[in-house]
Amino acid sequence: MNNIFHVPNKENNYQSYMVYALTIIWSLITATVLFIELFYFPHLWSRWLSLLGIVLFIAVVSLSLNHFRRTRSASWILTMMLWLYITIPCYSTGGIFAPGILSQMGVILTA
């Protein structure tokens, strides 16, 4: 029985494999950073936990679409959700000087 964490065949379906790999790598790195920030700034725990929930939501949606053979939709959704995840907080926490604006290159490379 396959689940959403089943690794796609790299040789037969390269795009599906790339969506899977980028989703897993991005989710793990972002979750690790948020977990570390939770220890450094414990008074902002609700912010870090809400961002962690958003990260998990993005990963589950992308992996689910990829699992059900909607690879093109999964790749577009992943790119759009990453862009929104990074840019929406920039409007409320510093605009163009916000640290999240530096992450735009990661979204461009993911696309």
Q: Is the pLDDT of residue 49 over 60?
A: yes
25 CB-side CA count, 13 A: 8
Tell me the C-alpha distance between 65 and 35, whole Å.
Answer: 26
**Residues of the chain with pLDDT > 70: what percent?**
70
Check residue 73 and give its pLDDT: 86
56-110: pLDDT as tens digits: 888 888 888 888 878 888 888 888 888 877 777 666 666 555 555 556 666 666 6
Residue with tokens 């993005």: 58
The answer to whether the pTM exceeds 0.85 is no
